[in-house]
């Protein structure tokens, strides 16, 4: 154990709750620590993220059983997912993010009823343990809010100990004008308690999701217990969902509160104290500079979502202009100088619009929004002072950047793969949403069936349908899947793609986004060229390091790229040059 962390933990609790209550909370926290958990390897020597790491994001019941398959009548959803991954994941993904798997009442799992049970529709903890033997698992810790159907909240309504103060309440006439609102519904939702009184409970995201009161140290301690239990169940990364909102203080925006950062620092200090091989990932869908604050001073999140990447790549693909993407990429912290980006394009949620604020001209990005709406995307809004404003693009990323109107399935796949080439080339841990991996288009019936926009990218199809399409080498699914597997295999073979290896964003030339990763420890580089244009482009390699190594092997200083072509060239070190073309 790293005893030097204890003073930090004690100080953070004193900051959160005052000296006296903070000291009491500190003593209670120490008593909660499972002794056996303190026998791990040093956190400073844990297995480092490498070029061989990538993450797959999936719901536990992502695939439904075949209607005609009677061979596995009792198979759980999680074991079905495991079987599919055993067949289809050929070394591409080392991390598996299983989206919330607890009993829930709404929001596809993010309105948790019981944090200690597995939704019986998915399976049980044995199924999770089975996956943990094959993958480094990512669990969601939904800290900001829980379900109104939970025992905790029902006990709150009955004024029972200790739950009577576990949720945030305010008077009916509370003035919340200063509060940042990510949704359009009222911030307070009335609930009638067992004594006949009405409690107006803070509900940031929906009336079914009631916000916890972290000003009560008992709430924090309960979630730290759950945090430990997740690790014991096999979590190697813990995603802090909607973490930016957890601390509320009247008169403030109630987002990015200093005490929110203190809670993240506390969880990080607990990991460091116990020397656990566990990573913290923060989910903060906010403008880029605000998002970066969750790295702290290398004492908060180990990874943060790179929320600016999905809208920037979408903008690049739609307008065929790589300029804004390149300009932004040059401002990223240098690889190896602190925490790591969790890079992604699509997820169970939509493509956030807020993170692109200040990175792209509003009028220009409006063209992108209008285009993807024409392609079938939906727009979700949040409250603002004057009127609701666009908050999120709800879509299948494939349908948004490569619609059927674009051309053949081969052309569509190439556009989609070009987008993912950027995801895989940039420094960080790349993450791929399950529906992107299997080439899914938007589920147009989803929002109508379920009543919310995000359902457009949350279809849970029958496994036999997916297998049939993946087995058809000419289908869009098969072309996307094969291309992603090919890129990830190339990535795994080149140490220059490791998160800590330097990257250089090359001069932007129209539709071509170009960068070089390297040198790695062996002196090897990878040149990554992505042409987002629908026309051939020529790219001059005047900024490429160690260019003489390329020219000696017959590479011309001017490279011709086909429409939407991805070309990666690995060179230098003691190995032969290798090339990937898509």
Q: Which SS3 state, helix, strand or coil, does residue 130 take?
A: helix
Helix axes 362-374, 309-319, angle to 10 degrees: 80
Residue by residue, DSSP assigns 356-404 as GTTTS-HHHHHHHHHHHHHTT-EEEEE--SSS-EEEEEES-HHHHHS-G
3-state DSSP of 34-85: CHHHHHCCCHHHCCCCCCCCCEEEECCCCCECCCCCCCCCCCCHHHHHHHHH
Q: Please state, in angstroms and rounded to a whole number, the distance separating the CA atoms of residues 366 and 375.
A: 14
Identify the CA nearest to 483 among candidates 96, 92, 84, 95: 92
Among the listed residues 61, 140, 208, 241, the single catalytic one is 241
Question: In Å, what is the CA distance from 250 to each residue of 170, 174, 175, 254, 344?
Answer: 10, 9, 9, 8, 34
Q: Which SS3 state, helix, strand or coil, does residue 574 take?
A: coil
Residue by residue, DSSP assigns 141-153 as EE-SEEETTSHHH
Cα separation of the two ends of the chain: 49
Are residues 543 and 537 in contact, defined by beta-carbon separation less than 8 angstroms?
Answer: no
- Residue 107's contacts (CB-CB under 8 Å, 6 or more residues apart) are 205, 206, 208, 209
Residue with tokens 């995000």: 454
Would you call the peptide bond into 307 cis, given omega within 30 degrees of 0 as the criterion?
no
* Token reading at 527: 């040149």
* Token reading at 252: 């403030």
Helix (H) or strand (E) segment spanning residue 268? helix 258-274
Size of the chain in residues: 582
Are residues 25 and 266 in contact, defined by beta-carbon separation less than 8 angstroms?
Answer: no
Pairing, β 512-517 against β 524-531: antiparallel
Q: Which SS3 state, helix, strand or coil, does residue 265 take?
A: helix
Q: Please state, in angstroms and rounded to a whole number, the distance separating the CA atoms of residues 26 and 23.
A: 5
179-186, long-range: CB < 8 A, 24+ apart: 179/248, 179/252, 179/253, 179/254, 180/253, 180/254, 180/255, 181/382, 181/383, 181/384, 182/245, 182/285, 182/382, 182/391, 183/382, 183/383, 184/381, 184/382, 184/383, 184/388
241 included as an active-site residue: yes
* Token reading at 568: 């990666």
Are residues 502 and 336 in contact, defined by beta-carbon separation less than 8 angstroms?
Answer: yes
Are residues 220 and 270 in contact, defined by beta-carbon separation less than 8 angstroms?
Answer: no
Active site residues: 241
């Amino acid at each position: 154990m790293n005893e030097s962390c204890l003073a930090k933990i004690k100080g953070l609790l004193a900051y959160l709750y005052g000296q006296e209550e903070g000291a009491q909370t500190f003593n209670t926290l120490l008593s909660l620590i499972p002794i056996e958990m303190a026998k791990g390897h040093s956190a400073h020597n844990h297995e480092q993220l490498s070029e061989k790491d990538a993450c797959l994001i999936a719901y536990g019941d992502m695939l439904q059983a075949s209607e005609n398959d009677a061979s596995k009548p009792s198979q759980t959803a999680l074991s079905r997912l495991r079987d599919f991954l055993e067949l289809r994941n050929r070394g591409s993904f080392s991390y598996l993010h299983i989206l919330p798997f607890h009993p829930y009442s709404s929001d596809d799992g993010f309105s948790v009823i019981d944090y200690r049970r597995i939704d019986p529709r998915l399976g049980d903890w044995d199924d999770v343990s089975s996956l943990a033997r094959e993958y480094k698992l990512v669990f969601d810790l939904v800290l900001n809010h829980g379900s109104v159907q939970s025992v905790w909240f029902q006990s709150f309504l009955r004024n029972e100990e200790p739950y009577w103060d576990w949720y945030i309440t305010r008077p009916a006439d509370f003035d919340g004008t200063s509060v940042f609102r990510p949704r359009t519904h009222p911030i307070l939702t009335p609930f009638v308690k067992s004594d006949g009184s009405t409690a107006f409970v803070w509900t940031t995201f929906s009336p079914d999701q009631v916000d916890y009161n972290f000003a009560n140290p008992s709430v924090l301690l309960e979630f730290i217990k759950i945090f430990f239990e997740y690790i014991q169940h096999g979590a190697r990364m813990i995603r802090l969902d909607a973490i930016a909102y957890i601390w509320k203080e009247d008169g403030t925006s109630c987002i990015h509160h200093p005490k929110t950062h203190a809670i993240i620092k506390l969880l990080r200090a607990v990991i460091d104290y116990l020397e656990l091989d566990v990573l913290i990932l923060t989910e903060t869908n906010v403008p880029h500079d605000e998002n970066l604050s969750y790295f702290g001073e290398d004492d908060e999140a180990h990874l943060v979502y790179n929320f600016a990447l999905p809208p920037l790549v979408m903008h690049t693909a739609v307008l065929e202009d790589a300029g804004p993407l390149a300009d932004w990429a040059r401002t990223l912290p240098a690889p190896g100088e602190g925490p790591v980006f969790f890079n992604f394009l699509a997820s169970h949620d939509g493509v956030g619009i807020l993170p692109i604020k200040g990175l792209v001209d509003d009028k220009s990005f409006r063209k992108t929004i209008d285009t993807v709406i024409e392609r079938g995307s939906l727009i979700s809004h949040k409250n603002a002072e004057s009127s609701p404003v666009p908050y999120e693009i709800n879509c299948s990323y494939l349908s948004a950047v490569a619609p059927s109107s674009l051309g053949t399935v081969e052309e569509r796949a190439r556009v989609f793969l070009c987008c993912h080439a950027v995801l895989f080339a940039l420094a960080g841990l790349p993450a791929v949403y399950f529906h992107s991996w299997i080439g899914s288009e938007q589920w147009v019936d989803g929002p109508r069936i379920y009543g919310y926009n995000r359902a457009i990218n949350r279809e849970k199809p029958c496994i036999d349908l997916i297998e049939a399409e993946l087995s058809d080498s000419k289908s869009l699914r098969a072309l996307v899947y094969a291309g992603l597997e090919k890129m990830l295999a190339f990535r795994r073979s080149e140490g220059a793609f490791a998160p800590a290896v330097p990257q250089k964003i090359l001069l932007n030339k129209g539709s071509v986004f170009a960068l070089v990763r390297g040198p790695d420890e062996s002196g090897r580089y990878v040149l990554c060229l992505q042409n987002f244009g629908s026309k051939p482009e020529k790219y001059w390699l005047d900024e490429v390091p160690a260019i003489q190594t390329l020219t000696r092997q017959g590479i011309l200083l001017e490279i011709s790229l086909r429409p939407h072509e991805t070309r990666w060239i690995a060179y230098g070190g003691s190995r032969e040059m290798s090339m990937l073309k898509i």
